[in-house]
Structure 1
Amino acid sequence: MSAPSRAPPPVATAPAPEAVKPDPPAPPKKAAEAKPAPPVESAPPPVIVEAPEEPVVGAPEEEAAAEAEPPEPEGGSGPPAEAPPPSRGLGGADTSAGSPPPPPPAPAPAMPPPGGGTAAEEKKDGFDIVPIYYGTDRAEAATEKRLDYGPNRGRKLILGQALVTVPKTHVQPQIERPWAIKIPYFDITLYEEDEDPDKHFTMKELKAQTREELLALVRARLAKSERFKDHAIVFVHGYNTTFDNGIYRTAQIAYDLKFDGAPFHYSWPSGGGLSSYTYDRESSGQSVPYMREFFDLVIKESGAKKVSVIAHSMGNQPALQVLREIKSSSPPGVVISQIILAAPDVDRDNFENIAKEISGLASGITLYAASNDFALNASRRFHGGVPRAGDVPTGGPLVLPGIDTIDVTAVSTDSFGLNHSGYAENNALINDLQLLIQTGERPPEKRVPLLEKVGTPAGDYWRYPAQR
């Protein structure tokens, strides 16, 4: 994310957090009291104004590479992006709705006619409301404002529904959030813009649900689905992602896809901090039994006739383990529609072994990879130079039987948070994801004619042509 010039921060030692797109700066409204944490260095770091001028989408989590050992927090070069402040619901001051959002891309022939569905459950004058059905094994966090979940492990599955506001002025594929002036490495907020649902993604409501309550809500939602009839998606976030950020990312994907099916999110207890890479790696692994329980609920009890799974970055590690268990223990006929693996931060050899075991579980498996993903490059160095499954090294991306590998280096990967450089923004991946989930059409060039097919001894893969 771009911002006024800033002095370089202290060297980070873990991958960067997923940046969430704030709005342009507004006149200061209030100053939050500062609670300094123990300083990391003797000299205080520079004040950082988080108010980018260019649209940059952060994804649930990622990492900017540094010349340090562990991956640096996601966020590209420059200081790591702060996680968004706790949601305050609709307490922000109202403003008039901005100009209407840009028109959606022209649908491909296989798409239904326009107006066949929307992710919004409810529409207001300045914003829409998108429901997200969540599962988490995070422990509840102490807060006076509302229910919240922190980085600690709860060691049990909790279910619930989040209602997220999406402003009518939303620009795809951003996540508009309030901007702030903060001092990195200290718990000091000098200024924080008020949340406004007419301008920002906000948490209108967050409520834990019993299994029966949640399933009733999901089935009612599916009964009204049109564009994505009886379809559910499950999004699993990656490294350094707070609970709120994961919910916002799921809402952004559902909204930009015009997904009127049931959007689910699984939130494992990521540390959400600058040095939490090792914690996150172990934490994601211990989440497998709870994630498996959640996947079983979605696949077997929700009433969805199609289920697609989107796993991002480190979230691929537990998600692939769960899918392997489902394949080995489920009776024939339990088939997932699409498995989408975005920038998997997984050892290549392990990935290849698991890919063989889950073969046939889904109608299709797609791997999005990139050579300019700072997070994966840093992770590779952290793991002794062993390439990650989402890398595109000199020899090319990972190509395996039964998996469509797409090299997205040439286009923006911000839609999934694969890359946080902000060097380019377009909707190529969102458009492909929409067609992939809706039609399942293969090979990829049938969905996206501009893709180039590249032959290798291991098989074919596809790539977006370099932009001029």
Structure 2
Amino acid sequence: MHKALFLGILLTLSSCGHPPGVMQPVTLAANSQKTSQVEMLVATNRQPSGDPETLFNGERSPKPYLTEVAVSIPQERKQGAVQWPRQLPPNPASEFAVMKVKQVETLSEATAWFRQNMAGGHALVFVHGYNNRYQDSVFRLAQIVHDSRMQATPILFTWPSRAQLMAYEYDKESANYSRTALEQSLQVLASNPDVKDITILAHSMGTWLTMEALRQMGIRNGRVNPKIANVILASPDIDIQVFAKQFVEMGPHTAKFTIFVSQDDKALAVSSFLTGKVQRLGAVNPAEEVYRSKFEKAGITVVDLTKLDTSDRLNHGKFAESPQIVQLIGERLMKGQTLTDSNVTLGDGVAAVIGGTARTIGAVAATTISAPLNAVEKRQQASPLPDIAQTLTEAPDSKPLID
């Protein structure tokens, strides 16, 4: 990458400023406009900040914490956008605002929260990416849940990111540090009898953490917990060869994998520059045959968002900022289905993305899966583990997938 372009992207990354602390709850006035409210449970291995406006900082804690958080969302707003407060306290009529914060001290309290908030037994676990404060991930998950209209119980796993532009290596080590914490959180969630299935939605560097936690779970227990039904990797900041090894080494699983990619992702271009110009999974062109047939044979659905326009200057958060894509995720969860169900029609919106039809999604190009989805799923169920390993790590001429 040319040095000037690299510096320009860094300046873009650093230009996104938000209020320093928005976690102090506010009270709605009796005559205020009606707002929507998203209730979530937040698990973290960050250190407590001691400040009610921030709650947790970017340093690492050996002890996990659970917090109930409620976020209000104004009626009049652009879908896909987080309406950050211009000043504190926020105005709930026009801005996102935290309405409740309650620390969860015991497992029985967490169980009671699940019973009260469980939506059809479906749980959504969101894992954020690099350069995120506690409040950033809280507001982003609230936006995703609200805009997708999903019927799933939202759970945020927020790991210790320093949220500093030049702290990429610290964040990467924090992701490594958090593997066991995320794995244990998923196991505890799966052990709850009220939870029927779990969807993991991970973004950017959070996809690395997610894959490492699932790999660790598979090695520890001999398989990934069967309640983990969907794994959605959005803009994955993972070396593609490393992903191939992670996918294989997690062992037997029934989870359906969906990957959102975009070749114009500027943040992943920076990541590639920082990691020795190695191809990132989230920036591949799935139409290229070296990838296309390999993903298909492994039963992995890849959705290419390169031609989708959003307000994201970095093209790194398209999955969340596109109303069509985020609603696509929500519609599947609402019906207890996966993004790769074969019993979809063009009217569903799902096939419009997976099948490459631009009618309802605009200029989205999803060229990865050309065969019928049911055939892909049958291959996934029938393929033994060594075949999947070979599929992902070797090209037909037995050379590595990525030179």
- TM-score using structure 1 length: 0.66
Distance of aligned partners of 1:421 and 1:325 in 2 relative to their CA distance in 1, 3 Å threshold: closer
Deviation at 1:328, TM superposition (A): 3.2
Aligned equivalent of 2:337: 439
* Matched residue, 1:428: 324
2:172 alignment partner, SS class: helix
How far residue 129 of structure 1 moved from its aligned partner, in angstroms, is: 2.1
Is the 1:445–1:452 Cα contact (8 Å) retained in structure 2?
no
Q: State how far apart, in whole Å, the 2-side matches of 1:431 and 1:129 are.
A: 17
Instruction: Report the equivalent of 2:180.
Output: 289
Aligned CA distance change for structure 1 residues 299 and 413 (closer, same or farther; 3 Å):
farther
Whole-angstrom distance in 1 between the partners of 2:277 and 2:35: 46
Q: In the alignment, which of 171, 191, 200 is matched to residue 309 of structure 1?
A: 200
CA RMSD, 1 decimal: 3.2
Contact 2:54/2:135 (<8 A) preserved: no
* Rounded Cα–Cα distance in structure 1 between residues aligned with 2:215 and 2:317: 30
Per the alignment, residue 208 of structure 1 pairs with: 103
Match of 2:133 among 242, 245, 256: 242
Q: 2:316 aligns with which of 410, 413, 419?
A: 419
Residue 239 of structure 1 aligns to which amino acid in structure 2? Answer: Y
Aligned to 1:72: 10
2:26 equivalent among 90, 99, 102: 90
The structure 2 residue matched to 1:349, chosen from 225, 233, 241, is 241
Q: CA deviation at 1:73?
A: 7.0
Q: Which has the higher mean CA deviation after the structures are superposed, 322-331 or 161-170?
A: 322-331
Rounded to whole Å, the distance in 2 between the matches of 1:276 and 1:169 is 36
5+ long unaligned stretches in structure 1? 1-12, 14-64, 98-125, 180-191, 455-459, 464-468
Match of 2:162 in 1: 271
Greater RCO (Cα-Cα under 8 Å, separation 6 or more): 1
Aligned amino acid, residue 188 of structure 2: L
Secondary structure of the 1:450 match is helix
Q: Secondary structure at the match of 1:161?
A: strand
Cα drift, residue 432 of structure 1: 2.0
1:262 corresponds to which of 122, 143, 153: 153
Q: Distance in 1 between matches of 2:354 and 2:54?
A: 47
Asked if 1 retains the 8 angstrom alpha-carbon contact of 2:147 and 2:323, the reply is no
Q: Deviation at 1:161? A: 0.8
Higher helix share: 2
| Residues 324 and 73 (structure 1), Cα distance of their counterparts in 2 relative to 1, 3 Å cut | farther
- Is the Cα–Cα contact under 8 Å of residues 127 and 197 in structure 1 kept in the other structure? yes
- Matched residues, percent identical? 24
Q: In the alignment, is the contact (CA less than 8 A) between 1:387 and 1:393 conserved in 2?
A: no
Q: Is the 8 A contact 2:42 2:155 kept in 1?
A: yes
Evaluate the alpha carbon distance shift between residue 344 and residue 251 of structure 1 in structure 2; reply closer, same or farther with a 3 A threshold.
same
Matched residue of 2:70: which SS?
Answer: strand
Measure how far apart 1:394 and its partner are: 9.4
Q: 1:325 Cα deviation (Å)?
A: 2.2
Contact 1:95 1:198 in 2 (8 A): no
Change in 2 beyond 3 A, CA 1:148/1:301 = same
Pairwise CA distance, 1:406: 1.0
User: Helix, strand or coil: the match of 1:449?
Assistant: helix
Equivalent residue, structure 2, for 1:17? none
Query: What residue identity is the alignment partner of 1:376?
Result: L
Q: Give 5+ residue unaligned stretches, structure 2.
A: 357-366, 371-403
Q: For 2:20 and 2:368, how far apart are their aligned partners in 1?
A: 41
CA distance in 2, matches of 1:303, 1:321: 26
Q: Aligned pair in 2 of structure 1 residues 366, 421: CA closer, same or farther (>3 Å)?
A: closer
Compared CA separation, residues 94 and 387, structure 1 to 2 (3 A): farther
Question: Is 1:369 the counterpart of 2:261 in the alignment?
Answer: yes
TM-score (normalised: structure 2): 0.76
